[in-house]
Each structure stands twice: as structure tokens, then as C-alpha cells.
Structure 1
Amino acid sequence: MSIAGRPVASSLRARVPALARRVVARLLADLPVYAELPHEEVSGDIADIVQHNLRLFADLVECRRPATDAELAQQRDSAAQRAEEGVPLDAILTAYQVGTTMCLQEAVEGALPDDLAAVLEITEHIMVVQQQLTSAVSGAYLDARRILDSQEHGGRHALMTALLTGESLERFTHPAGLRPAARYLTMTLVLGPHPDEQSQSSGPGADVAARRKIRRVRTTLDHFAGAPVLTALDASGGTVLLPATQPLPWHSANGLCALVDEAARTAGVPITAAAEIAEPVAVAAAVARNTEIVGLVARTGRPPGLYRLSDVLLEYQLSRPSEALRGLAQLLKPLEAKPELLHTLETYLALGLDRRTTATALHVHPNTVDYRIRRIHSLTGLSPARPTDLQHISAALVARRSIPPP
């Protein structure tokens, strides 16, 4: 099929990249919802599906046939993802209409009077494709929304609520229904903000970026478990309950630390997590401990990653309410008015009491480090050079970090 002497299909394929950029630009200009989407999503998923649609139309015109069900799979997947992110269905359908209209205009550009029959045939093809796209996209979108609503209000939500509140699990023991696992890997996650959340600041764009981040974390967890896991996540993090049907390695290529690293990479944000395996009756207590652990990790300045109680034993024990905790913290109170001395002390201990390495890290002369250590001894009566004092200094630093700020 030709227009103005040029084959429509091959000509359209050659102009797909440029046409796709124009379609995306039109969507951003005409549809406020798309203008508020994260840049990563617009330049990635949205641009990819636009190019896919344009190439598909070229194939269908060349073969003079409608699309098959398999050829619309990518569009259905895209619609389901947009449903999870909360993009309105009417905006999605309008975007497809804009794209097919611009595709038709491109295909018949320069048509001559003798090309009327070809123009009518191409128009008929694109109307059929538009009808198929509307049906496929609407169906996939609504199916995804039904699943999401069902999960939110159905048995999985009820089971997680029961586990986290310590309610009786008797109503979940029916053989045909959802049953609790014998043990769960309880995880508390703290999700950092995605750049798109920060750039959008507030409004629909930030909300979409947050839901996109959460969806990617959930997808990674579901893939690891081989089935949907129980989650209660928002933009800042939350709780995950993963059935522990078999031993779960900590440090390995397929272990839990690698799982958290993969979730962080996929979501594009730093993730700090704490984990503990517990039986159903102990899930609530385990989640409470995990929450304390991620708080301790944040206050002690540790990097993102996965932590167990054994990784923060000293900090956890010193964080228990007691007069000794505040007494230890008070040992370094004379340094509060001298932040450079406190920072020097923390760096000196972290670097193994090496004055030259400490000086390099602080960008000062080694003699300055010596002088500051003497000043610390003078103000507090404690010297890192004495083993007993060193123990008290280390404990005092931990106590200062363990006490939550007012």
C-alpha cells in the first residue's frame, strides 16, 4: 500500500523514533496527568509503548489485518502498571487516541487525489486497531484495579492485620482459604525518597513516583518469594512478611542481603532494613524489634542495607531505658560545646586510633589531632590511650547515638 508513491509501512517504520518523540511531546503538552508523571517513566515506559504501537500499526497496514491478542500483550501490561500507579483510565485512553491520530496523519501525509482509496483503507485499519486497543487497555486496567482492591480488602490484608496485632488466627485455618505460614521472615523497610518524588515536591507527580517506587519493591519481593508476599508499605517504608518455608541464607548471591540490594537498585532509592524470622504468634514482637533496629541504624550513621539484632547488639542493649544509659552519655557532655573535638574523637576511634589516618580524614595536621585528644582528656578526664577509659568512651558514644533526640 502506497501514498504519493511511497510505501506506507516502510516509510512509517523509518520515522518511528522521530514520530514517537512528537507524540510524547504532545501528550505532555495536552494531558496534565502525563506532564506530572516522573521523567524516568515518561522517557522509559511511556516512550517505549508509543514506539511499540507505531511499529505495530506499520505491520498491520503492511499485512492488511487486525492485531492479534498476543500483539496487544505489551499494551495490557502497560495499562496494568498505570493502574497500580493510579493514572486515570480516561487519560490513558486519550493518550492512545492522540497517538493513533498522529500516526494516521503521518501515514497519509502528502496524499494525492489518486490515493483516496488507500487513505480510506488506512483509516479503516487504524479505526479497527484503535477499537482493539481501547478494549485491551480498558480490560487490563480494570482487571488490575479489581485485583488491587481485592488484595486491599480481602484475606491477605486481614491475615497481615491479624499477624501484626496478635489477633487469633483461627479464622485463617480453613483448608480452602488463606492459611498462615509456619514461620515468617519479618522485615521492616525504610525507603529513601526517589529523585522524582523530590523534584515533584507534591501533587500527583510525586504520588505517582512514590507508588512506582513501592510497586518495584513489591515486585522484587514477590519474585524472590515466588508468590505475592504480605506487605504494608507507603512512600517512607513499612512492613513485609515473607513466608519462610525453607532456610533463608543471609550472605549469598541469592540471600536476603542481596534481596534488599536488588530492591534498592530496582526502586532507585536507598533501603535500610531489619529482619527476623518468627512464628506467627511472635510476628508482632519481631516487627517491633525490627523498627527499633532501623531507628538505631539511622541514629548511628550506618549505611543502608539489611541488619539483624546481632549487628547492633551493643547499641540495642544501651538503648534500653536506664539511668546508666544517660549516665554514659553524660561522660562526653563537656564536648557538646566543642563539636570539632567530638567529631575528632568519633573519627579517631572509627579509624583505629591512627592519628595520621585521622588527620588525613579531617584535613588537619597530625599534631592537631594530638592537641585535640589532649583537650578531650582535659575536659572529660578520659583518654583513649588508657584501655579502661577507651571502653567508657566507646560506650558513651554509643549511648549518645542511642538516645533519641528530644
Structure 2
Amino acid sequence: MKIPKVTGKLREVTAEYARDPSMIVDRSYRAISQSDGTYNDLSSSTKSDVMESIRFSATLWFNSMLTGQSPTDEDMEIFRNLGRRRVHQGVDLASLLRAYRVGSKELWNAYLELASKQQDVQSELLFTVSPYLLDHFDEMAQSIAIAYMEEQHGQSRWKDALRYELCNLIFSPAGEIDEFNRVSEAIGIDPTIARVALAFDTNAIDTMPSRIEAELDRVQLVVTRMAKISGSDLVRVMYRGRLIFWVPCIRGDSLLASDRRMGELATRLVETVPEFKRVGVGMMGLGPSGWSGSVDEAVKALEVGERDGSGNRLYRYSDIALNEGARRSDNVLRYLESLIERLSHEPDLLRTLECYLDQFQKRKQTADILGIHPNTLNYRLERIQEITGGSIQDPAWLAKLHVAIRLRKGSL
């Protein structure tokens, strides 16, 4: 590439700009901020870095015009580092390239303003400088874009490796809390915030195997938008054939409030995302054991829900928590089984109790559904009390019977 070496008045002005590019830097940053709101929301330290980057980029151009030589390898490496830093500062590639284009245009406008007053400057700008201008800025833009994408790819691979390590820690029996905290913070996740696992049964993703991760990234983007969280706050994994997302809770939320909010989010997701067939919602968990426990709960809710044949698409562990809690204690389980063991020998009584509980203890409605006389219902309820030794007027006793019946139905 032939580089022109400016002369006369144009050289004087270029040398002045090279000594103090402040005017060029200020007008370029104003134009960049007006063209892309991203640059208005940056931290003060990042804004200062952007200003220095504009200064350095403009200085490279001025020096080329004064010396007739390309930027050195050292200069180009510094320039490429500008692009690499934008990855970590949260500036996307489109915004980076737009900023470079707008800044270059402002630099050229400054020269054109000079040319409007100087005839000899006009000719040199038009016939000598402008042919090189396009080549210079095109090559520099390509260089910074390549550096950005390489850094972004490297960061993505690094974060993927850390996320893989994090999932291993979550499902490890050891539950190493210190390592879990270290890896979480390295990824940018706050380990002190509890999370809820959402487990999705998914339709087959109709794409090439090499594109599946990209499709999952697309689905994850939908989840982050609907949950109103940043992409870095959401963690996903494939577990036992289900797609798992750990969604952060609101700090200070109660378990009840969190369960309700996650249920609403899960409902919207299965109604919106075609790839989602059914979803199981775990309960709030903190730390590696909490995250793992929430996944087990979400998957269990799905499994129980699939067996009940209701055709629902949302299954919450909180709906089966009492049943599952009873299953985990042999003594409790045997006790609940004993409550209805004798009733099982009289099917009419068992069916009556189940219907009575399902109808929220409304006797007329229960009798109508069973097709029996109210007096017959009263007799059966009295028999149930005699056999079980409890009172159907006692809410605690009814709760025990309800859990016992649901456990029995689940085991059939």
C-alpha cells in the first residue's frame, strides 16, 4: 500500500493535530456517543479508555501522513489490544466497528473543514490522501475486528470450561463449597444468591448436530429475556435427558414467593418456546448441594407429573413435597400406609374418602359424584372414622389421610 506523505499547509495542520489531538478526540467521542447509546452507559474508567483509544488511533493516522510509513508491528499490537479490551468491557462488535467508523469520519471532517478554506489543501486531500484513506481505515477496522473475535472466542471457551467445572462441582457428592464459590465468581455468578432449577422436556431440535449448541444458546437467550436477567446469570446443563436452567432468585425472597414467581416464569416459557414440552420446577437452593437438590426436585416433579396423565405442562415440586418427604422416611411411610390399610379391604370406603377429599369436604357434591344418597355418604364417613380412629373434622387428620391416599395412588 502506497502511503502519501503530506506537504505544505496540510502537513503543518497534521503535525499540530499529532502534537495535540484533543480537539479530534473530543468531537469524535461526542459523535460516537450520539450514534450509539452503548457508549453513554459505560463506566467512567471504560469511557476514559475509549477516549485514549480514539487518541491512539488518530495518532497512528497522523504519523502515517507525516512519515509516509505504516504503523509499526508494536503499534498494531497496541491497536489490536483496544479491540480485545472491548470484549471484557461489554461492548459488542457492532458497536466497536460503528465507533471506529464514526470516529474516522469525524477525523476526515476536520480535514475537510480545513480544505474548505485552503485551495491547495483541497487538491492534496482529494488526489493524494483520499485514495489511501479508505485502504487505511478498512485495514485497521479488519485488524481490530479479528482481534475482538479471537478474544471473544477465547473468553467463550474459557467460560465454557469453567461452567463445565461448575456443573461437576454441583453434582459431586463432595459438594466443595470453596471451589464452587471460586468458579462461580470467576464466571461472574454471585454464589450467595439462591437459585431454582427448571427442568424441561424438549422437542427434538431440528438442526445439524454441529448447530445444536447454537440453538441452545438461542433458547437460553429467550429464557434470559423472559426472566429479565443477564445471560451471564443463567447456567444450563443437560441432565438425565432434560435441559436444566438454574434461574437466580431475588435476594431476600421467601421460598413461597420464589416458588410462585418461578412457576409463572415456567408457564410463560412452555407457552412461548416451541422446543419446550413440559417443565418441572424445583425449590430454592443455595450452594452446590442446594443447586443439585433443586435439579433433583425439578426432575422428580416432571416424572410424577408424567405418570399422573393429566396432560399438564407445568409440574412443581412444591405440589408433591409432602408426599416425597414422607417417602424418604420409612417410619413415616409405614405409618401413613397403616392409616388406610384396613380401608383398602373395603373399596367403597376408600373411593368415598378419596372423592370427599378431592371435593374439599363438600358432602353434597361428593354424594352427587359418587351417585349415592347423602345418608349413605354420612354412614361411610362414620365407618372411615371408626376404622382409622380419627375425626374427619380434624384438619391435621385429614391432611394425613390425603397424603396417604396420594402415596397409595402413586405406587399403583
Q: TM-score, normalised by structure 1?
A: 0.45
- The higher-RCO structure (CA 8 Å, 6+ apart) is 1
Who wins on radius of gyration, i.e. which is larger? Answer: 2
Q: TM-score, normalised by structure 2?
A: 0.45
